[in-house]
Structure 1
Amino acid sequence: MSKILVVDDEVDLEILIKQKFRKQIRQNEYEFVFAINGKDALEKLVDIPDMDIVLSDINMPEMDGLTLLTKLNELNPLLKSVMVSAYGDMDNIRTAMNRGAFDFITKPIDFKDLTITMEKTLKHARQLKETLKAIKENNILKMYVDENVLNFMGSQEYEATIMANENIEATVMFIDLCGFTAISENTTPDVVVTMLNTYFDVMVKEILAQEGHIDKFIGDAIMAVFKGDYHLDRAIDAALAVRDQINARPAADDSTKFQPKVSIGIKSGEMISGNIGSSDLKRLDYTVIGDNVNTAARLQDAAGENQIIISESCYEQVKESFQCKKVGSINMKNKASPITVYEVLE
């Protein structure tokens, strides 16, 4: 059953929706929850945290739809919203889309269009949840995998594939949350973890959208790997989206007033892919290692707030697709000569 939160101060809409979707409601396909404004909607979401999508009017008393959209992004970045607006209200529509709305429809509501839009949004929401569930299950499996489990899972061919070590062409991206270490030293653990997980959810969403893989979380940083066609281009697209989404987030609504910013390093090339870790401890991590991975981490170290830094070799590959500027040469540990780096602007 799909749970849909409808937010609108027009009480007649509740009656209309229940009439139009009575068949789906009877068959337990849809469950509608109704709120009269943004404030009421947030209270409903606290009571029902597993809501699938939100359908919200823009103009409402107490808390309007655009303010609600900002609050939803803070509460649950994966919760998809469809905004409802009157014809000609393009300024509000653009603002809504810039704040992360998935789609919009116009009033008076065309219920055929509403049904199609809801189904499209629900499908996207389900795909996101399934992807995150698969990642979570895979990470849990990796923590406990040993020879007996591998034998249980399948054939010798399957085991050989799981344990295979190989050279691959890929792109590695490191994203660091600037200044967060200072926050973690002076704030309660619950606040720190909640804030960090919220920012990570924003980053993960954009990485998955470009078919990237979350290799690991390292403190307040993420290591992501992109494989396949145009892996470097997709990594840069993800980096730009992460930077934009993080910059769009408001300062933390607590004593820290923390304003999130990211620094990003990206390097593409050959690397070793395999199971790295301790067999005795039964902790193996399927990851990538090599000079290009180390370089990506050091490029991130060299990046400042809001900077996306790439090497000259990466710049030569993408200079026709992205606007970049030369930063200069930097010295790197274990590198005999300085390397030339570029900043990706847009």
Structure 2
Amino acid sequence: MPKILVVDDEVDLETLIKQKFRQKIREQKYEFFFAVNGKDALEKIEQHPEVDIVLSDINMPEMDGLTLLSRLNETSPLIKSVIVSAYGDMENIRSAMNLGAFDFITKPINFEDLSVTIEKTIRHVTQLRETINAIKENNILKMYVDETVLNFMASREFESSLIANEIIEGTVVFIDICSFTAISETEPANTVVALLNEYFDVMVKEIITQGGYVDKFIGDAIMAVFRGDYHLDRAIDACLAVRATINGLPALPEGRPFVPKVAIGINSGEMISGNIGSSSLRRLDYTVIGNSVNTAQRLQSIAEPNQIIISEKAYGCVKESFNCKKVGEVAMKNISGVMMVYEVLD
């Protein structure tokens, strides 16, 4: 609902506005606020920053309309102003326009003209806000996605890929930050988020370096996927690098007993890759699912701080490339029987 601030020292104008626009107010198509001068108007805007339009007189005590216009340009450039004044000479009109007024209406007010002007101004403000939001979204997208991907997203090939599901061979990695929940219960929210993002940034860099991609962030854990040649080897190299880098980070200062450590589970095999979620909610994740993925998560759940746990099958594939040791047989949730697991040392 558009919010309109009327600024005029004539108190009768408030009553007149409410009478002339009573249907719009009753139908909640407009919401009006009122101020008696420019100073009062700035205070009202501070209380209601969502104001879209200011209808302002020029000649007022304490702060006149032209001064208010200049202040609005500095503090609230998205708010559009319409001057409503008895001083309709060209000098005042030009002064108002030079200070950024969107339009100018003379008194006595023609309310039909005022209504048309308000509608026109609302359309302009709406288009302006939509444009700015689109620019923000585009800039945010560019921060995380390179130009090649953006061009692909605009293609028909991308539209087709959204509905393409396939069985792939790959490696899934789950990396959990140990005991981070305790920090989230004792530290301010801004501290927790900043710290978690710092740790995630370290992990993501190592994952990308080895040609993997982050499938999703799950609380204080990361799920990553590696495909292509030597996907298991590259996944282990990435996890070794993550562990080493995390171990090199300092403990929290001021006596807070938290030293960052990670617990990691890795598993390879076939998995289903597809666009999964709810089309009704327009929330779809291009992700992988299947027993191989579930097993990787279970392996992470039994890993101790600083441990990288793999299955016996994975060990058989990488034992000549990595130094590993047998952990033993373990029972894992929702997996029948026991599984022999190994720890990757280096």
TM-score, normalised relative to structure 2: 0.56
Counterpart residue number, 1:192:
192
Residue 181 of structure 1 is matched in structure 2 by 181
In structure 2, the gaps of 5 or more residues are: 1-139
Query: Aligned pair 1:340/2:340, yes or no?
Result: yes
Shift of 1:252: 1.4
Deviations 1:2-42 (A, max 9, x none): xxxxxxxxxxxxxxxxxxxxxxxxxxxxxxxxxxxxxxxxx
What is the aligned partner in structure 2 of residue 168 from structure 1? Answer: 168
Deviation at 1:137?
Answer: 4.1
Correspondence for 2:234? 234
Distance 1:257 1:336, change over 3 A: closer
Amino acid at match of 1:225: V
SS of the counterpart of 2:240? helix
2:144 maps to: 136
Query: For the residues of structure 2 that align with 1:214 and 1:254, how far apart are their CA atoms?
Result: 33
Partner of 1:145: none
| CA pair 283-331 structure 1, distance change in 2 beyond 3 A | same
Q: Which residue of 1 aligns with 2:211?
A: 211
Output the amino acid matched with 1:191: T
Identify the residue that residue 154 of structure 1 maps to in structure 2: 155
Give the secondary-structure state (helix, strand or coil) at the position aligned to 2:258. Answer: coil
Equivalent in the alignment of 1:307? 307
Q: Secondary structure at the match of 2:305?
A: coil
Could you tell me how far apart the structure 2 residues matched to 1:259 and 1:228 are?
A: 35
Question: How far off its partner does 1:337 sit?
Answer: 1.0
Query: CA shift at 1:255, angstroms?
Result: 4.8
Aligned to 1:272, the other structure's residue is in SS state strand
Task: List aligned pairs for 1:1-346, cutoff 5 A.
Answer: 136-137=144-145, 153-155=154-156, 157-346=157-346
Q: What one-letter code is carried by the residue in structure 2 that aligns with 1:160?
A: S
Q: Match for residue 6 of structure 2?
A: none
- The one-letter amino acid of 1:246's match is I
CA drift of 1:163 comes to: 1.9
- The residue identity in structure 1 corresponding to 2:330 is I
Structure 2: distance between partners of 1:220 and 1:306: 15
Superposed CA offset, 1:73-109 (max 9, x none): xxxxxxxxxxxxxxxxxxxxxxxxxxxxxxxxxxxxx
**For 1:205 and 1:307, how far apart are their aligned partners in 2?**
20
Q: Which residue of 1 aligns with 2:29?
A: none
What whole-Å deviation, never above 9, does each CA across 1:320-343 have from its counterpart, x for those lacking one? 000000000111222221011000
Flag structure 1 segments of 5+ consecutive residues without an equivalent.
1-131, 143-149
**Which consecutive segments of 4 or more residues in structure 1 shift more than 4 A?**
132-135
Aligned in 2, Cα 1:170/1:276: closer, same or farther, shift over 3 Å?
same
* Greater gyration radius: 2
Residue number in structure 2 paired with 1:26: none
Query: 2: CA distance between counterparts of 1:135 and 1:228?
Result: 26
Q: What code does the residue aligned with 1:178 have? A: C
Q: 1:223 to 1:291 in 2, by over 3 A?
A: same
* 2: CA distance, partners of 1:334 / 1:279: 29
1:135–1:174 CA distance, 2 compared to 1 (3 A):
farther
Distance 1:135 1:337 in 2: 46
Q: Percent identity?
A: 62
